[in-house]
């Protein structure tokens, strides 16, 4: 792809999604292979230009995920990340080689603080590394992205030398990231302008922005980079990522779409899929979206103030700068019940953006019928929670069979639990300081482990006393942290399923958890 992406009244901005790489580096946000494939498929369908599928050298699991995504994705470029190390680049090239549009994304530190304390290399040594590694990558794949890690804290003269070396060696995209979320919009805009003006052959590469949100400026900085000449923005669904996260894809897309008067750009993203993508990412990572999150939060189109409600009734534009439908939020959600049949349920799933296999559909329909028998009204949010949980649990080794609780003011509270562990059914009864504690004690007795409970959080999926409870659980073990969510009208059942979901993730990542019945 050439650097010139203009030619129309609005310049085309490439959307580079790194949910599967940088997003997954968010503590506790690890996804299974199946979840990564599902997220990648949706990103491709919604029009993301480049999908950064992972860090192939990190593990065999990461390599396999990147390879499978490269084979699966039909339209988008698939990128694999690599440090400026020969083995990394070879591994990344091998992982993405089956893609219709493969890319190697390699990076090296350039700031004085990184060179002195992390790289322990001189400026000249790093320039040589850039030339050698970008050349190696270009000999494997035509599409090469090079990143100057900690670009915003790199002296501009040296940054220009590094960029010049990368372009000369064959880099087709130059990424100048705000790695530590340090820059302000004016600084970031000026950096792009200076580099593009000063570096020979800068017009032969597309410049890219990658911003972290440590000061809450990731989206603002990304948009400022466009004014400085960048035409690729790297972002993640829901803004997930290391530390305070990355620029949020949905915010970037809708800012460009809504404020075309001051942002004369366009993306290829189908905006009506943003809400569905947000919910899928949230379900896959088990990271809930904050209620007041821009664009995709539950309250993004909610109005409680009397003044606001009055204005909305008279003209929606008084307090809404975009419509709920424009980002895929349906105004009508109460449509399903216990008398709804398969055809209606399948149609509802299609409306919500789900495409399930026959087996997945059958499992989801059976769970829907069970839920409809227990709950008076079934909302879209109930169905989404049900299907997302079904997908997440499909490959779990440990599954809840039944749970019986004895609770009340006169303790102790007791939990009797039946689990399926691989092909065995195991049963245990435990007491605890409350029904949740008893439930978790039963799990520990059935599946002995050393994981520490870091988070236990409950909220309702919808309104009403019969609403599904959505429970989030975060477990840590061996310096690894995973999060899982589950929903059920019974809070204790949801609690058990969320805990087991997190435990399954720890086990699938190779943590030292020994699934065995205490009686054995």
With a CB cutoff of 8 Å and minimum separation 6, the contacts of 198 are 156, 160
Element (DSSP H or E) covering residue 442: helix 435-446
Residue with tokens 């399903």: 336
415 DSSP β-pair partners: 405, 430
Residue with tokens 């995504």: 69
> What is d(CA 135, CA 141) in angstroms, rounded to the nearest whole number?
10
Residue with tokens 């690890």: 30
> What is d(CA 463, CA 451) in angstroms, rounded to the nearest whole number?
33
Point out the annotated binding site for Mn(2+). 22, 210, 212, 246
CA angle 404, 406, 407 (to 5 degrees): 130
Point out the annotated binding site. 22, 210, 212, 246
Q: Report the b/e string of 229-261 with b at 16+ CB within 10 A.
A: bbbbbbbbbbbbbbeebbbbbbbbbbbbbeeee
- Rounded to 5 degrees, φ, ψ at 272 are -70, -10
- CB count, 10 Å around CB of 291? 11
> What is d(CA 199, CA 181) in angstroms, rounded to the nearest whole number?
24
Element (DSSP H or E) covering residue 454: strand 452-460
Contact present, 419 and 446 (Cβ < 8 Å): yes
Closest CA to 495 of 429, 428, 400, 416: 400
- CB count, 10 Å around CB of 502? 28
* Strand-strand pairing, 413-421 and 452-460: unpaired
Q: Which two three-digit tokens encode residue 146?
A: 């090079």
């Amino acid at each position: 792809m050439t650097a010139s992406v203009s030619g129309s009244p609005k310049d085309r901005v490439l959307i580079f999604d790194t949910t599967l790489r940088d997003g997954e580096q968010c503590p506790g946000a690890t996804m299974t292979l199946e979840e990564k494939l599902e997220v990648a498929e949706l990103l491709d369908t919604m029009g993301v230009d480049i999908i950064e599928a992972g860090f192939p050298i990190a593990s065999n699991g990461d390599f396999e995920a990147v390879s499978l995504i490269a084979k699966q994705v039909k339209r988008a470029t698939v990128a694999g990340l690599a440090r400026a190390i020969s083995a990394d680049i070879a591994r990344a090239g091998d992982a993405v080689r089956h893609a219709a549009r493969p890319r190697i994304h390699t990076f090296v530190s350039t700031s004085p603080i990184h060179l002195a304390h992390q790289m322990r290399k001189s400026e000249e040594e790093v320039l040589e590394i850039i030339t050698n590694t970008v050349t190696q990558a270009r000999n494997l794949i035509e599409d090469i992205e090079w990143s100057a890690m900690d670009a915003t804290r790199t002296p501009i003269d040296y940054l220009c030398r590094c960029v010049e070396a990368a372009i000369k060696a064959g880099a087709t995209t130059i990424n100048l990231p705000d790695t530590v979320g340090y820059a302000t919009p004016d600084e970031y805009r000026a950096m792009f302008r200076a580099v593009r003006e000063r570096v020979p052959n800068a017009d032969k590469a597309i410049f890219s922005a990658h911003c972290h949100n440590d000061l809450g400026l990731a989206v603002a900085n990304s948009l400022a980079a466009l004014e400085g000449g960048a035409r690729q923005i790297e972002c993640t669904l829901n803004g997930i990522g290391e530390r305070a996260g990355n620029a949020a894809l949905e915010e970037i897309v809708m800012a460009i779409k809504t404020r075309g008067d001051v942002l004369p750009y366009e993306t290829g993203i189908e905006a009506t899929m943003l809400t569905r993508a947000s919910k899928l990412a949230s379900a896959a990572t088990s990271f809930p979206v904050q209620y007041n999150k821009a664009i995709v939060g539950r309250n993004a189109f909610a109005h409680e103030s009397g003044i606001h409600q009055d204005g909305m009734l008279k003209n929606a534009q008084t307090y809404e700068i975009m419509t709920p439908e424009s980002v895929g939020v349906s105004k009508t959600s109460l449509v399903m019940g216990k008398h709804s049949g398969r055809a209606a349920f399948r149609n509802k799933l299609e409306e919500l953006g789900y495409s399930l296999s026959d087996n997945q559909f059958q499992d989801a329909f059976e769970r829907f019928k069970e839920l409809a028998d227990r709950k008076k009204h079934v909302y879209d949010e109930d169905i989404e929670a049900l299907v997302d949980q079904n997908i997440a649990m499909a490959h779990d080794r440990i599954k809840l069979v039944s749970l019986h609780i004895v609770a009340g003011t006169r303790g102790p509270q007791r939990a009797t639990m039946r689990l399926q562990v691989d092909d065995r059914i195991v049963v245990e009864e435990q007491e605890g300081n409350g029904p949740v504690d008893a439930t978790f004690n039963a799990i520990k007795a059935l599946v002995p482990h050393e994981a520490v409970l870091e988070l236990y959080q409950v909220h309702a999926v919808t309104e009403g006393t019969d609403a599904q409870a959505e429970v989030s659980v975060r477990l840590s073990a061996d310096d690894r942290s995973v999060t899982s969510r589950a929903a059920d009208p019974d809070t204790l059942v949801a609690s058990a399923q969320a805990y087991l979901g997190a435990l399954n993730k720890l086990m699938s990542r190779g943590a030292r958890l020994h699934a065995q019945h205490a009686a054995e």
